Amino acid sequence: MADDKTAALPEGTDTVIAGASQSDDGDTLTMEDTALSTDSSDRGLANRLREGREQLSSQAGERARGFVTQGMERTAEALANVSKMVGDTAPGIDERLGAEYGDYARRAAGAIENVANTIAEKDPDELIEDTRNFVRNSPGIALAGAAVVGFVVARLFKTGLARNEDDDA
């Protein structure tokens, strides 16, 4: 049962798979041909993976910018509302505590409004870069701020879960 193809096979190999040792034009492939073919297919695969990674990175960046823009708009709006609320309470503070405290409330309202306007005017990329610079320059403050925000979010989440459990009972 041994023919001329199976006689030349390395020890431990039983048969030749049809088409496995021939190129498209019918010639027998050598190890060099196979290595070149594998090398070029590896480069093609690497290029496709690189392009896919770049595309995903670009999409993620655009999505992040969208979230940052949306967050900036909401933050500016919320700060403007707080500013208006503080400004509206200033006359009441004048009556109850005195004009000096009413002026403090007006100045606080003005400062909050300035922050809201600054946030509304900023570009998302500029805000991201400012945040990076702040974290680089003050990593301790950034870490403490992240811890506080994490604590607040955890408390809000826990409170929300407790209310849901009360509603279900």
pLDDT digits 0-9 by tens, 88-130: 888 888 888 888 888 888 998 898 899 888 888 888 788 778 8
Phi, psi of 100 (to 5 degrees): -60, -45
Q: Amino acid identity, residue 151?
A: F
Using DSSP's 3-state secondary structure scheme, residue 169 falls into: coil
User: What Å distances lie between residue 20 and 23, 29, 44, CA to CA?
Assistant: 8, 9, 21
pLDDT digits 0-9 by tens, 131-155: 889 899 999 998 998 898 888 888 8
Least confident of 40-44, 45-49, 73-77, 140-144: 40-44
Q: Do the Cβ atoms of 21 and 29 come closer than 8 Å?
A: yes
Higher pLDDT, 82 or 28: 82
How far apart CA 118 and CA 133 sit, in angstroms, is 17
Looking at the chain, how many residues does it have? 169
- 105: Cβ contacts below 8 Å, ≥ 6 apart: 86, 87, 89, 90, 93
**pLDDT at residue 136, as a whole number:** 93
DSSP annotation of 27 reads P
